[in-house]
Amino acid sequence: MTNRVQELYLSVMARNSSAEGIWRRCRRDATAARLFAAALKGPVESRILLVSPAELFPQLAVSSDGLHLPFMSRGLPYLSHGFESIRRGMAALLYQHGVDPLAVQRRRRALQVTESLKEATEGDARDRLVMAGLQTIRINAPLRELVLGDEPISRPRLREAVKDYSGINCSPIEAAFQDFLPFPRGRRQRKAVGGVARSLDDLLGSFQIEPLKANLVCMSAAHFQKVLRMRGVSQADWRRLLFELTYRQLLIPSSLLYFWCTRCPEAGFVASFTPAYFADSPLCPLCGRVAQAMCTFAPAGYLREAMKLKDGMLGVAVGWFLRKHGFQFKHGLTIGGTELDFIVSGRRGCLLIECKMHHILKPEEHIRSQILASRTQLRTHIHVAQREGLQPKGAACVVNLGSHPLQKTLRRLKAETDLAYQELRAEVISYEDFADWFQRASAATRTDSKPKPIS
């Protein structure tokens, strides 16, 4: 290895210390080692853990009266029953809440008192503002001239007349706004405010917050169903993985545990502060039968640390694969202003490995553009490595798409014509094919270490 290459190896960025810490943990923690090995090879783990965090925990929106109100996904869902059954149970309970005579009566009383407050104050407020505006115009000559002129009033003309407002007396408007702080001065206004105070229970009761929160959890679960369908993972397989990760304390509750009984809708929602104990579905407090339940979880510990890294779970899983099998490599090597994800060293050269976490729920055209961008970046990095004397003997960009959908996308792209790319037989590969590709490619480098057999 040349001195130049040795110098470059010493320039590994400190920001990758988190990944190094996770790999060191895998050395002494069998659970962590199994998790990151399964992230590449596990039939369920890889399909869930290698989804981009931006798609696991996206911004969603709830629609209300024509408005779209954004909220962040509550997390990874636990559902006691199939999603469609949960959705129907939720819809029935929300409908029951909406038509419940007592709830309707309380909402009606709350609306009546707020409408009376509005009627009592809005007329007075308008009068005060208009009078303050007229008084301000009367005492300021530039404003009077602007109002009495024949030309339309525009913002440029206003700015020209008032400049920086230093010569404008705005005391009438300022006094009017100060009056609004204790605005309910009149008898009618005070009576309306007193009505609101007396109906405070009705006001609070009209805003049933727990059903709304439960609905956000249900919408988060609905989004996760798209991930399961795209990845081909069943509800039963996901539930088994969820139980394992929560048992290992790698997932922690991010919402209350909501449960309800479809036979006893009058009981409403029950929210428990202990969602960790959900291996058995909770029972209805009225009839004693199995209730429907749901909650969400968020990553914790080294799982959360791995997901936060630039290359996410994929980069950590690839690094642990190399470390576990005894290969020498540098991670996050920066040369010529370009960061290379992995350089695996050997006597006859090195292997260049890039990792990319792509969005899998996007339209096919978007996924194709992502793959094309990954291939372009790999080609660029090959040229950078050759220019700096690293002598790569093979190169690949590992992506989080499955082998079949990736090959389908690659067939729709034009073949790469770059000579260096072709000579190295570089390619964009699926995480599912990484172990086989590495075994073939590493034979050409004759690594300095004596790696363990790849299994």
pLDDT at position 115 is 56
Q: Is the pLDDT confidence value at 38 over 50? A: yes
So what's the pLDDT on residue 2? 36
Residue 298 vs residue 153, higher pLDDT = 298
Beta bridge partners of 345: 350
- Closest by Cα among 324, 426, 445, 437 to 383: 426
CA–CA distances in Å: residue 56 to residues 74, 225, 267, 313: 10, 11, 32, 13
Distance CA(375)–CA(425), nearest Å, equals 12
Distance CA 205, CA 191 (A): 22
How far apart are the C-alpha atoms of 92 and 262, rounded to whole Å? 8
What tokens appear for 243 in the block? 């139980």
Mean pLDDT of 55-66: 82
Q: Which helix (H) or strand (E) holds 413?
A: none
| Predicted pLDDT of residue 211 | 73
Distance CA 182, CA 178 (A): 8
Q: Higher confidence at residue 340 or residue 129?
A: 340
CA distance 315 to 398: 9
Average pLDDT over residues 207-222: 80
Rounded CA separation 155/129 (Å): 20
Produce one character per residue of 252-265: b if its CB has 16 or more CB atoms within 10 Å, e if not: bbbbbbbbbbbeeb
The reported pLDDT for the residue numbered 227 is 96
* Local structure of residue 290 (DSSP, 8 states): B
Domains and CATH numbers, the chain: 3-51+304-442 (3.40.1350), 72-97+208-299 (no CATH), 103-206 (no CATH)
75-85: per-residue pLDDT in tens? 999 999 999 99
For the CA atoms of the chain, what is the radius of gyration?
32
Calpha distance 243→47 (Å, rounded): 16
Whether the Cβ atoms of residue 396 and residue 437 lie closer than 8 Å to each other: yes
Share of the chain above pLDDT 70, in %: 74
* Range with lowest mean pLDDT among 388-397, 417-426, 441-450: 441-450
What's the whole-model pTM score? Answer: 0.71
Predicted confidence at residue 200, as pLDDT, reads 43
d(CA 270, CA 213): 12
Compute the average pLDDT of residues 417-438.
95
d(CA 313, CA 296): 20
Could you give phi then psi for residue 4, rounded to 5 degrees? -60, -45
Task: Single out the residue of 216, 231, 171 nearest to residue 73, CA to CA.
Answer: 216
**In this predicted structure, what is the pLDDT of residue 17?**
53
Burial-class residue 181 by CB neighbours within 10 Å (0-12, 13-18, 19+). exposed
SS3 label, residue 397: strand
DSSP for 334-395 reads EETTEEEEEEEEETTEEEEEEEE---SSS-HHHHHHHHHHHHHHHHHHHHHHHHTT--EEEE
Tokens 């202003």: give the residue.
337
C-beta pairs of 231-239 under 8 Å, 24+ apart in sequence: 231/47, 231/48, 231/51, 231/360, 231/402, 232/47, 233/44, 233/47, 233/48, 235/79, 235/82, 235/83, 237/44, 238/44, 238/48, 239/78, 239/79
Which tokens hold the place of 63?
């629609």
State which H helix or E strand residue 52 sits in.
none
Does 146 or 371 have the greater pLDDT score? 371
Bridge partners for 252 per DSSP: 298
Distance CA 264, CA 395 (A): 61
